[in-house]
Chains A and B, each alone.
Chain A
Amino acid sequence: MSETSVVHGPHAHAGPSLRRMMLEVILALLPATLYGFSQYGWPALFLFLTCVLCGLIIEALCLRLQKRPLRALGDGSALLSCWLLALSLPPWAPWWVALVGALLAIGLVKQLFGGLGQNLFNPAMAARVILLIAFPVEMTRWVQPLALGSLPAPGFLESLQITFGGAQTDAYSSATLLGHVKTELSRGTLLSDALADIYRPLQALLGERAGSMGESSSLLLALGGCFLLARRVITWQAPLGLTLGLALPALVMYLIDPLRYASPLYHLLSGGFMLTLWFIVTDPVTCPASAAGRLLFGLLCGVLIYLIRTYGSYPEAVAFALLLMNAATPLIDRYLRPRIYGRNRQGAALQPFNRRAP
């Protein structure tokens, strides 16, 4: 025999490796990302590269400090976290926002909690929330999409100025749909008027609107998500729960008073919902492990998004709702376990079979 140590079974193994699963998620994100670059031009690309590069360097540093092998960098988890973070940033944000974001996501939320698999919160969403609270101006300065190469779009050098040089971008700025509606409603405008010239579902589907890179094209994100479902990298429970959790309250309120409350479609197509639906709420590390747990997790997440969007003071709710539910994950895992064979739901052994019983 070529080996002397005795190995326990199974003596076969199958299924994709961790690295492969991560790469497939990144592959699913690629269409939406590329489309984001084309919509928001060079600054978006620069910001994205800054975020990902910083993230990888920080991950490497942390691994080094913990004396772990650097090959763990190759599992793709840091790349994926930073990729998702970059997709949720305003595309024309300055470079240091990306740097601080990467530091928070990888350094604080992931590695400080023990590295891959140990983090309680989703690194990208936690970093986004901290950034939003710490740098509200930079994190809410959105721009209308300007197709790469079109006349009003900034050129290469101008874009370098935007990302790295602190150039003023106010000339281009514009509110997101959610932000606009929130402002208008708070001024007492009717919803129909607030939505009149800004809300077009088809546009939301395709992504020609102000927002972060990952929020823009719902269609491409859904395409990537379906690919992951088909490849069995993600499961359907959490996305279904999230959709129901957001759409059902929205539908009820919309039927009660369509003048004040937006339609379910509006909620499903706006903000970071699509990105969350396919790529965040399905993050295995921070969501419950059982099928029922994942369904509940998604459901509560959706309800929270609706509540925060409708009654909260922030226009965007996804990241907040997700963090709250991340914190509840251990609790859900504790109480929602699958029933064990031969036991009832309470964990007691089943009654023995009695031949004489009817």
Chain B
Amino acid sequence: MKWNRWRGGVHPAGRKEESSAQPIRRLPLPELLFIPLQQHVGEMAMPVVGVGQRVLKGQLLAAGQGNISAPLHAPTSGLVRALGEYSAPHPSGLPLPTLVLEVDGDDRWADLEVAADPFALAPEDVCRRVGEAGIVGLGGATFPSAVKLELSLRRGIDTLVINGGECEPYLTSDDLLMRERAAEVITGARLIRHAVQARQVLLGVEDNKPEALAALRLAALGTEVEVQSVPSRYPMGSDKQLVKWLTGREIPAGGRAADAGVLVHNVATAYSVARALVHGQPLVSRIVTLAGGAMAHPGNWEVPFGTLISRLIEGAGGYLQTPARLVMGGPMMGMQLPRADVPVVKGCSGVLALSAAEVAERAPEPCVRCANCVRGCPQGLMPLEMAAYIRNGDLKGAQALGLKDCIGCGACSYICPSNIPLTHYFNYARNELATMARQQRKLDATRRLAEQREARFAREQARLAARRAAAMAQTEKSQ
């Protein structure tokens, strides 16, 4: 029995059996794919193909630009039909520049560059290839993986943590991936270890996934990957909590995992790294869980990016009843989708069609300071106090209490008996603070420019005065 390494957390009902009963399935290719140019954190990708151009599966569609960005590849072969604005999978439903690909149905791969032995590559080469394959954090963060790898290689870390936590209820896409493709997950983990030259690899899987654990342990036999079972407690799949559990280290506040000597990658990311380096295949599809009380046939589907969610749900058997809410991601941290005709993107681990009973919306009541939120917070914060400060408009006060340390896991809102939308308060406050900081920077810049202008003006005046004085002196002397 391992010492309880972090306090707090909640135990939401797993609801995972519904979608994990079936193997990973595929749907026939749709006629059109809608590929947003922004599927990752950072700069938007820049299209390198023209409208009317034929592309093969895996061919580069858009290149990453800037330091933090990721390229996009054709999820299947076809014809680039248009480049326009299309609704993005986001609560706002606002449009994003999107490539529309007309699918030809051949699904023919482009010529892929495959290394004979990826383990013989230099670490820098592995990082570069991961970046070229368009791989981003598939746990939901969608941060470009190559950036993390390069940073960790430069900074020097000793432990690689592979995150198989999947602590969100309903979602089983990582679970199924680990069960069915354990060997490639392990290969990916070893490749990442090679890329960052880590000393040890710890693969943590929540103990509610015994089949995945068994498959991984078998695949990891004789390798340097150490598969560990971790307790099922939300949010165990959060990198901070998993790192603490597996290594006993804490990521310093405001820092990155590398500041604790650790690099964290999701199992699906590791799998994609294996596909990219062993088979040369860039990231063009992912496994998506469809679940929720309103979904007729919950399960996992391997979906090419750009497939419309509405199309996916339809192909998977449609709804059982009109869903009260559509959610992309898990019920704890996922975001509400106002509409279903938006594309599957790299960060889409699941789509939930929740019934009214599951959403269980109740009117907020006054806080009675029961402190369930304090006990539930995995970060050691006091959500009730932060919310009280925010309600009174004292955002700085909330910040002093640790608003920036909040990981937004939603455990506090989940267990609040008064149904206070605590997470909502915190996100609001963070946005407001960010806006204030931006305005402050703008003000500072304006003031600096004005001051510089004044100084320049004064210098100019002084120079003129000096010249005039010199001229006067000259005239006097000559007279």
Contacts and interface: CB of A to CB of B under 8 A. Distances in A.
A285 B368 contact: yes
B339 A338 contact: no
A75 interface: yes
A235 B413 CA distance: 19
Given A2-B322, A341-B6, A352-B259, A8 B424 contact: yes
Interface string B368-381: 11111011011111
A151 interface: no
Q: What is the interface of chain A mostly: helix, strand, loop, or mixed?
A: loop
Contacts of B13: 14
Given A11-B354, A340-B381, A21 B370 contact: yes
Given A340-B402, A355-B158, A9 B331 contact: yes
Contact of A353 (B259, B354, B374, B405): B259
Contacts of B200: none
Contacts of B377: 338
A289 B326 CA distance: 35
A13 B374 contact: no
Contacts of B158: 355
A7 interface: yes
A355 B156 contact: yes
Contacts of B335: 9
Contact of A350 (B252, B327, B385): B252
A116 interface: yes
B338 A289 contact: no
A284 B402 CA distance: 22
Counting chain B CB atoms within 10 Å of each CB, which of A1, A75, A116 scores highest? A1
Counting chain B CB atoms within 10 Å of each CB, which of A72, A284, A339, A341 scores highest? A341
Nearest to A338: B380
Nearest to B414: A10
A44 to B, nearest CB: 29
Interface in A337-358: 337-343, 347, 349-355
B333 A349 contact: no
B240 interface: yes
A239 B352 CA distance: 43
Interface in B435-477: none
Given A2-B324, A10-B423, A290 B371 contact: yes
B339 A340 contact: no
B366 A11 contact: no
A16 B418 CA distance: 9
Contact of A75 (B333, B365, B402): B365
Contacts of B410: 9-10
Contact of B338 (A4, A18, A284, A352): A4
Counting chain B CB atoms within 10 Å of each CB, which of A77, A287, A350 scores highest? A350
Interface in B328-342: 331-336, 338-339
B254 A18 contact: no
Interface string A316-352: 0000000000000000010001111111000101111
Contacts of B358: 11-12
A152 interface: no
Contacts of B186: none
Contacts of A354: 261
Counting chain B CB atoms within 10 Å of each CB, which of A77, A289, A337, A355 scores highest? A289
A340 B379 contact: yes
A351 B419 CA distance: 37
Given A12-B332, A13-B360, A355-B156, A284 B371 contact: yes
A11 B294 CA distance: 14
B368 A342 contact: no
B384 interface: yes
A337 B382 contact: yes
A136 interface: no
Contacts of A339: 380
Contacts of A14: 10, 12-13, 414-415
A355 B418 contact: no
B260 A290 contact: no
Contacts of B324: 2-3
A155 interface: no
B251 interface: yes
B440 to A, nearest CB: 22
Given A338-B382, A350-B252, A13 B365 contact: no
Contacts of B255: 342, 349, 352
A20 B365 CA distance: 13
A6 B91 contact: yes
Given A1-B323, A339-B380, A13 B368 contact: no
Interface in B407-430: 410, 413-419, 421, 423-424, 427
A132 to B, nearest CB: 26
Given A341-B250, A352-B252, A15 B371 contact: no
Contacts of B368: 18, 77, 116-117, 284-285
Interface of A: 1-4, 6-18, 20-21, 72, 75, 77, 115-118, 235, 284-285, 287, 289-291, 333, 337-343, 347, 349-355
6 contacts: A11-B325, A11-B336, A284-B369, A285-B369, A290-B371, A341-B253
**6 smallest A-B Cβ distances: which pairs?**
A353-B261, A10-B410, A342-B253, A349-B253, A338-B380, A352-B259
Given A3-B325, A17-B419, A349-B255, 10 more contacts: A7-B325, A11-B325, A11-B331, A13-B361, A75-B365, A333-B385, A340-B402, A341-B251, A349-B252, A350-B253
